[in-house]
């Protein structure tokens, strides 16, 4: 996924082969495709084929240890769609994704504007803020576990020093939810910030000056000039965060394991439990396929938004 | 005037967020170098005698060095297969202008969006039937496949910066497609290859979900080892923190070296593969 893909407009002159090369364009094209073949074989063989195999499995009853999968038609789908746990995990996923995305975008934009406004030291601040994003996600989640751990964590120590009884962060359904959102915000806001900041740096300053001359200031400047200019970066960042937070696994696994009970169980966590705890590979594939359909739907929505811009409708 | 007045406020807000970003890391560093009794004293102890006993214990006595080697083998193996394949494909795709090439690139983006858990299930079944669970090749194959779309897109962005006139000049001088690539274009793409390799390395180093299922006692990687590491005594916290800090250090080095290229790598790959 690239920002480029979100902003690339085709140069009409570059669209066709140049006259000098058109005579030999055909054999050249074939040899260029030969460069793509090895990589394409890997993608087809180790990525597309497994996905198709999983789609195939989703119509079978297949548990680990069973010798042959047994065809059951759409039974897996019907069974899962009738399960409360599936709908609960879908709801959990949607709420987690929506909350984290909203907070990360708001904070990321604020930070990017701050960096942009800063006359010096922007580089140091962006580096410091950026550290959490690159840390191994499992390690990042552990760091936060030590902040939110009951009794011994830093959060409890700080809250207790104000003589307030601290909540059971990871043990109560609502607080566990909040903790996971905080973890996501902590690790991924820097990413949103960096992309938006890069967009701001590429912005035409003359536009801003023009806005100021017309008397716009503060929020109006942001809303009417900066945000429209950042459209490709905003779409990119939202698309990436949407897809990635939809499949968040590491932080939930480490922080709550989906608990307490199934309070923080997302679609990915439930698929994992189906496959590797209940050993029901058929149903796990089914849930994976359903997740894929949801994510693909959302993604297509974003791609169509992006193409609308390319046609100049926005 | 406004600009000057706003500065302290901006600096304050950014400092506040930087503090939010760094506190969990500093806290973990403190846990790893304090005696357990001090680490969990309330209110937190500010003055203490630092100890590196836990760092030594977790990395040497509890075999984390071995897990590091496993991580390194898998990450390097991934880079050595994924980057050459991706570089070749990226060159071809950067020079092709047909609709098919564009669709293929879009297809790669779509593949990047697949839920990893969905890929993991068939991977597990195949690896199990070939008795390849807990072997390096299984994990490397999975990482290569997952990294391919990212590698191709990132390398392509570097090739797009090399003017096509060079290709045409080389053709006129009698190079065929292959020699044009190896003798003229590839040397110019070296910086791109370095950046792509490092990002692929990071992706493989950080991977958890696949490692959790595909590796075992012989090939366990650091993220799995640290997530599994448990125990009820208080020393566990200190040891675990020491392990976590050690896992983070190479990444900080990586950051120092690659600050300049971060934005590009991220806009194209969004590291959390």
Residue keyed to tokens 């536009």: A207
Q: Which of A42, A89, A121 to mutate to test the interface with B (most CBs of B within 10 A)?
A: A42
A:B CB pairs within 8 Å: 288
Question: Which of A302-306, B22-26, B78-82 shows the lowest per-residue confidence on average (mean pLDDT)?
Answer: A302-306
What's the pLDDT at A284?
Answer: 94
Cβ contact A143–B262 (<8 Å): no
What's the pLDDT at A289?
Answer: 94
Which helix (DSSP H) or strand (DSSP E) does residue A61 occupy? Answer: strand A60-61
| pLDDT interval class at A207 (50, 70, 90) | confident
Select from A4, A142, A190 the Cβ nearest to the Cβ of B21: A190
Q: Which residues of B touch A296 (CB under 8 A)?
A: 110, 113
Please tell me which of A215-219, B118-122, B252-256 the model is most confident about, judged by mean pLDDT.
Answer: B118-122
**Residue A127 contacts by C-beta under 8 Å, 6 or more apart in sequence?**
B255, B259
What is the percent of chain B with per-residue pLDDT over 70, rounded to a whole number? 89
Coil/strand/helix, residue A13? helix
Radius of gyration of chain B (CA): 23
What's the pLDDT at B265?
Answer: 67
B116-129 helix and A267-276 helix, angle to the nearest 10 degrees: 10
The span from the CA of B255 to the CA of B202, in Å, is 11
Q: Which residues of B touch A248 (CB under 8 A)?
A: none
Select from A2, A136, A191 the Cβ nearest to the Cβ of B251: A136
The span from the CA of A216 to the CA of A182, in Å, is 34
What distance in Å separates residue A187's CA from the closest CA in chain B?
Answer: 8
pLDDT digits (tens, 9 = 90+) for B63-109: 888 999 999 999 999 999 999 999 999 999 999 988 899 899 988 88
Task: Judge whether residue A23 has pLDDT over 70.
Answer: no
Cβ contact B111–A47 (<8 Å): yes
Cβ contact A4–B267 (<8 Å): yes
What is the percent of chain A with per-residue pLDDT over 70, rounded to a whole number? 88
| pLDDT interval class at A198 (50, 70, 90) | confident
Select from B109, B141, B227 the Cβ nearest to the Cβ of A1: B109
The mean pLDDT of chain A is 83
The span from the CA of B161 to the CA of B156, in Å, is 9
Select from B6, B22, B119 the Cβ nearest to the Cβ of A131: B22
Cβ contact A50–B91 (<8 Å): no
Question: Which of A65-79, A186-200, A213-227 shows the lowest per-residue confidence on average (mean pLDDT)?
Answer: A213-227
Task: Judge whether residue A257 has pLDDT over 80.
Answer: yes
Regarding an ipTM greater than 0.90, the answer is no
Q: Which residues of A touch B6 (CB under 8 A)?
A: 117
What distance in Å separates residue A306's CA from the closest CA in chain B?
Answer: 13
Cβ contact A3–B206 (<8 Å): no
Q: Which residues of B touch A16 (CB under 8 A)?
A: 97
Task: Judge whether residue A22 has pLDDT over 70.
Answer: no
For chain B, what is the largest distance between any 2 Cα atoms, rounded to a whole number of angstroms? 76
Task: Judge whether residue A231 has pLDDT over 50.
Answer: yes
**In contact, B70 and B215? CB cutoff 8 Å:** yes
The span from the CA of B57 to the CA of A284, in Å, is 40
Coil/strand/helix, residue A227? helix
Instruction: Find the mean pLDDT for residues A151-156.
Output: 77
SS (H, E, C) chain B: CHHHHHHHHHHHHHHHHHHHHHHHHHHHHHHHHCCHHHHCCCCCCCCCCCCCHHHHHHHHHCCHHHHHHHHHHHHHHHHHHHHHHHHHHHHHHHHCCCHHHHHHHHHHHHHHCCCHHHHHHHHHHHHHHCCCCCCHHHHHHHHHHHHHHHHHHHHHHHHHCCCHHHHHHHHHCCCCHHHHHHHHHHHHCHHHHHHHHHHHHHHHHHCCHHHHHHCCCCCCCHHHHHHHCCCCCCHHHHHHHHHHHHHHHHHHHHHHHHHHHHHHHHHHHCCCC
Phi, psi of A35 (to 5 degrees): -65, -30
Question: Which of A24-28, B4-8, B161-165, B210-214 shows the lowest per-residue confidence on average (mean pLDDT)?
Answer: A24-28
The span from the CA of A276 to the CA of A272, in Å, is 6
Cβ contact A292–B118 (<8 Å): yes
| pLDDT interval class at A199 (50, 70, 90) | confident
**Residue A141 contacts by C-beta under 8 Å, 6 or more apart in sequence?**
A183, A250, A251, A253, A254, A255
What's the pLDDT at A3?
Answer: 58
**In contact, B248 and A139? CB cutoff 8 Å:** yes
**In contact, B272 and A241? CB cutoff 8 Å:** no
Task: Judge whether residue B46 has pLDDT over 80.
Answer: no
For residue A289, what is the nearest residue in chain B, using CA coordinates?
A: B118
What distance in Å separates residue A314's CA from the closest CA in chain B?
Answer: 22
Q: Which residues of B touch A298 (CB under 8 A)?
A: none
pLDDT digits (tens, 9 = 90+) for A27-82: 778 888 999 999 999 999 988 899 999 999 999 999 888 888 889 988 999 999 98
Please tell me which of A115-119, A260-264, B216-220 the model is most confident about, judged by mean pLDDT.
Answer: B216-220
What's the pLDDT at A77?
Answer: 93
H helical segments located in chain A: 3-7, 19-22, 25-43, 49-57, 75-81, 84-117, 122-134, 137-148, 154-161, 173-201, 205-213, 218-221, 227-229, 231-246, 250-255, 267-276, 281-310
B235-269 helix and B136-160 helix, angle to the nearest 10 degrees: 40
| pLDDT interval class at A19 (50, 70, 90) | very low
The span from the CA of B38 to the CA of B44, in Å, is 8
Both tokens assigned to B19: 């503090």
**In contact, A250 and A137? CB cutoff 8 Å:** yes
What's the pLDDT at A227?
Answer: 86
The mean pLDDT of chain B is 85
Please tell me which of A93-97, A197-201, B35-39 the model is most confident about, judged by mean pLDDT.
Answer: A93-97
Task: Judge whether residue B42 has pLDDT over 70.
Answer: no
| pLDDT interval class at A130 (50, 70, 90) | confident
Select from B206, B244, B262 the Cβ nearest to the Cβ of A143: B244
Select from A4, A195, A292 the Cβ nearest to the Cβ of B266: A195
Instruction: Find the mean pLDDT for residues B246-267.
Output: 78
């Amino acid at each position: 996924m690239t920002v480029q893909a979100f902003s690339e407009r085709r140069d009409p002159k570059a669209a066709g082969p140049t006259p000098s090369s058109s005579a030999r364009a055909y054999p050249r094209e074939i040899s260029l495709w030969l460069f793509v073949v090895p990589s394409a074989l890997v993608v087809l063989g180790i990525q597309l084929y497994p996905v198709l195999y999983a789609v195939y499995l989703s119509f079978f009853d297949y548990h680990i240890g069973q010798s042959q999968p047994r065809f059951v038609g759409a039974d897996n789908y019907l069974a899962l769609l009738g399960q409360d746990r599936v709908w609960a995990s879908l709801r959990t996923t949607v709420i987690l994704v929506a909350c984290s995305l909203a907070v990360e975008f708001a904070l990321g934009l604020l930070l990017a504007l701050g960096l942009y406004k800063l006359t010096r030291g922007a580089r140091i601040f962006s580096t410091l803020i950026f550290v959490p994003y690159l840390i191994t996600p499992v390690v990042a989640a552990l760091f936060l576990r030590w902040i939110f751990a009951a009794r011994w964590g830093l959060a409890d120590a700080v809250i207790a020093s104000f003589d307030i009884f601290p909540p059971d962060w990871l043990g109560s359904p609502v607080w566990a939810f909040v903790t996971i959102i905080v973890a996501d915000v902590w690790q991924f806001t820097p990413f949103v910030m960096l992309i938006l900041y890069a967009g701001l740096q590429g912005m035409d300053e003359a536009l801003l000056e023009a806005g100021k001359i017309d008397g716009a200031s503060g929020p109006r400047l942001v809303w009417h000039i900066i945000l429209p200019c950042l459209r490709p970066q905003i779409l990119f960042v939202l698309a990436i965060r949407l897809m990635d937070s939809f499949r968040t696994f590491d932080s939930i696994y480490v922080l709550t394991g989906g608990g307490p009970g199934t309070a923080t169980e997302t679609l990915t966590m439930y698929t994992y439990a189906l496959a590797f705890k209940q050993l029901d590979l058929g149903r796990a594939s089914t849930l994976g396929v359903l997740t894929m359909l949801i994510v693909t739907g959302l993604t297509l929505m974003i791609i169509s938004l992006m193409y609308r811009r390319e046609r100049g409708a926005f | 005037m406004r600009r000057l007045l706003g500065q302290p406020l901006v600096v304050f807000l950014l400092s506040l967020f930087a503090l939010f970003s760094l506190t969990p890391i500093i806290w973990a560093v403190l846990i790893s170098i304090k005696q357990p009794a001090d680490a969990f004293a309330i209110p937190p102890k500010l003055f203490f005698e630092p100890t590196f006993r836990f760092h030594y214990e977790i990395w040497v006595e509890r075999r984390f060095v071995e897990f590091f080697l496993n991580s390194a083998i898998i990450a390097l193996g991934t880079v050595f297969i994924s980057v050459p394949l991706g570089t070749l494909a990226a060159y071809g795709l950067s020079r092709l202008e047909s609709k098919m090439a564009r669709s293929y690139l879009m297809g790669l983006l779509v593949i990047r969006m697949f839920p990893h858990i969905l890929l993991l299930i068939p991977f597990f079944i195949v690896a199990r039937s070939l008795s390849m669970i807990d072997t390096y090749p299984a994990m490397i194959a999975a990482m290569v496949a997952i990294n391919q779309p990212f590698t191709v897109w990132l390398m392509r962005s570097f090739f797009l910066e090399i003017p096509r006139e060079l290709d045409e000049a080389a053709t006129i001088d009698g190079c065929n497609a292959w020699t044009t690539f190896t003798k003229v274009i590839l040397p110019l793409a070296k910086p791109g290859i370095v950046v792509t390799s490092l990002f692929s390395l990071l992706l493989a180093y950080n991977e958890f979900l696949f490692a959790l299922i595909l590796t075992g006692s012989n090939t366990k990687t650091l993220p799995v080892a640290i997530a599994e590491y448990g125990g009820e005594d208080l020393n566990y916290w200190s040891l675990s923190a020491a392990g976590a800090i050690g896992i983070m250090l190479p990444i900080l080095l990586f950051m120092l070296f690659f600050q300049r290229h971060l934005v590009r790598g991220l806009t194209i790959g969004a590291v959390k593969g």
